[in-house]
Amino acid sequence: MTGGSIGARNVWGFGLGTLGRDMLAALVAMYLMFYLTEVVDISASTVVAVTVIMVVMRVFDAVNDPVMGIIVDNTRSRWGKFKPWIAIGALAWAAASILMFADWGLEGTTFLIMFTVVYLLWEIAYTVNDISYYGMLPSLSRDRKQRERIGVVARVCANVGLFSLVVGVLPITKALAEWTGSLQRGWFTLAVILSIVMVAFQAITLVVAKEEVRIEEPATTPLRELFSVIVRNDQLLWVTFAMMTFMTGYLVTTSLGIYYFRYVYGDEDMYSIFAAVLGITQIAGLAIFPLVARFLTRRQIHLVATALCVFGFGLFFFADSSMLLIGVAGVLLFSGQAFIQLLMLLYIADCAEYGEWKLGRRNESITVSLQPFIYKGSNALASGIVGLTLLASGIASLSSDSDASAIGDGVVLVVKIAMMVVPMVLATLSWLILRMKYRIDEPTYARIVSDLKEREA
C-alpha cells in the first residue's frame, strides 16, 4: 500500500471516529447539570453536593490520565498498543452513559451515592477510550502537514458531532419526551442513541486507521518514571498550563449558554438557532485552517485567534437583547476558538517528537494523555465556576418552569461576568503563557525531526 493511500486512510479513518465521541462527551460535559436541575429537578442542596462530586471526580480522573497513558504505551499486542484499549473504552463508555441517564428513582443520600458511582465509571471508561484514541494520533504520521490534515478532519468531524447535539438537544429531547411519555425518558433515549452512534464510528477507526510510525521501545516505561517523563518535557507542561487556562473559560461560556438564553435573553428556543450559527462558524474556521497556515505561522494564528475571542467576549457582554450583536459576538468567539482548539491538538502532538528527541523515549500516549487531562481539569474548574454562578445568582433555587421574569438585573450581571468577563481574562492569559514559553516553532520542529531520523538511521 502506498504512503498516499495510507495517509488518506488515516485522515478519514481517524477523523470519522470523533463524530460520535464528541456527541456523547458533550451530552455529559455540557448538559448533565442542566438535566439534573431542569429535568430531574434536584434541590439546591443536592446541586451543591453534585457540583462538589463532579469537581472532585474530574480532578481525580484527570490525574489518572497519564497513568492510563503509561498503560497504553506499555501494551504489546498483535493489534498494536492503541486499538485494544479504544475498543474496550468505547463499549464501557457507552454502557456508563446509558446508565447515567437512567431513572434511578432515588433521592437524598442514596441518589448521591449512586451518582458518584456511575459518574466515576463514566469518567474511567471515557479515559480508557480517550487516551488510547488520541494517543494514536502522533503514530499516524510524522509529517507536520499530514498531521495537520488529520487534525483538521478530526476536529471538523468532532465539531459536526458536537454542534449537531448542541443544536438538536432541546427539540430532540422534547420530541422524544412526547414519544416516550416523559422528558426524563426522552433524555434517556437520546443517551442510548448517542451511545450506539459513538460505538459505530469508533469501529470505523479500528478497521480503517493504520499506524505509520512504530518505534519499538527498548523496554516498557516503569510507573515510577511517569512523573519524570511528563515533568522533563517542559514544552508539554507549558502547553498544558496554557490550554487548561483557555479551556476553563471556554467551557464556562458553553455550559452557561443554555441558562443565558432561558433566563437572561428570555427565549430558550433561540439557543438552538444560536448554536447552529456558531457550529457552522466553528466548522468553517477549522476547514480554512490549512489555507490560513500557508500564510501565517502557528504563533501568528494563535495571536489572531485570541484577539477574535477577546473581541467576541467583549461584544457579547454589551449585546444585551440584540440577537444580531450576540450572533456577531458568537461568530468572532467561536471562529477564534476553532483555531485554538486545533492548535492545542497540534502543539501536544509535536511534543511527542520533542520528548523523544530530548528524553530518548517516544511515549505518545503519555504525552497525548495531557490533552484529556486539559479537558477534564478545565471541565472540573469550569463545573466549579458554573455551580457557584448558579448558586450565587439564585438560579439553582428556581423551579424547572421558571423563566426570565424570575430574575433581576443583579442576577443578569453575575451570569454575564462569569460567562464573558472571566473567560476573556483567561484567554488572554493563555496566549501570554504560550507566547513567552513555547519554543517548538516550524524551524525548531524540522530540526528535531531531522535529528530523530539521523538517530534511527
Q: Are residues 399 and 426 in the same domain?
A: yes
Q: Are residues 31 and 178 in the same domain?
A: yes
- pLDDT digit of tens for each residue in the chain (457 aa)? 444 555 778 888 888 888 888 889 888 877 888 888 888 777 778 888 888 888 788 777 767 777 777 787 777 777 778 889 999 999 999 999 999 898 887 777 888 999 899 998 998 898 888 888 887 877 777 777 777 788 788 888 887 888 788 778 888 988 998 898 888 899 999 999 999 999 999 999 888 888 775 555 555 555 556 666 677 888 888 998 999 999 999 889 888 887 888 777 777 777 777 777 777 887 888 888 888 888 899 899 999 999 999 999 999 888 877 888 888 988 899 889 889 988 887 888 888 788 888 877 777 667 777 777 787 778 778 888 888 888 887 776 765 555 555 566 677 888 888 989 999 999 999 999 999 999 888 888 888 888 888 877 6
Residues 9, 11, 13, 17, Cα dihedral to 10°: 180
- For the chain, what percentages of helix, strand and coil (3-state, to nearest 5) are there? 85, 0, 15
Look at residue 2 in the predicted model and tell me its pLDDT.
44
194 in Cβ contact with 326 (< 8 Å): no
CA separation for the pair 115, 38 (Å, rounded): 17
Nearest to 452 by CA among 345, 361, 346, 347: 361
Give me the number of domains the chain comprises. Answer: 2
Chain centroid offset of residue 159 CA: 10
CA separation for the pair 190, 98 (Å, rounded): 9
C-alpha cell at 338: 476553532
Residue 393, domain CATH = 1.20.1250.20
Q: Are residues 438 and 384 in the same domain?
A: yes
Question: Which amino acid is residue 91, in one-letter code?
Answer: L
Residue-number span of the structural domain to which 139 is assigned: 9-217
Report yes or no on 379 lying in a domain.
yes
94 in Cβ contact with 160 (< 8 Å): no
User: Cβ neighbours of residue 399 under 8 Å, at least 6 residues apart?
Assistant: 41
C-alpha cell at 36: 439534573
C-alpha cell at 88: 474496550
Look at residue 223 in the predicted model and tell me its pLDDT.
55
Q: Are residues 257 and 367 in the same domain?
A: yes
Q: What is the pTM assigned to this prediction? A: 0.69
Instruction: Annotate 263-281 with three-state secondary structure.
Output: HHCCCCCHHHHHHHHHHHH
Domain final position from 189, 217, 245: 217
Nearest to 97 by CA among 33, 187, 157, 18: 187
Q: Report the greatest alpha carbon distance in the chain.
A: 71
Q: Are residues 103 and 140 in the same domain?
A: yes
Domain final position from 154, 187, 217: 217
Domain final position from 162, 185, 217: 217
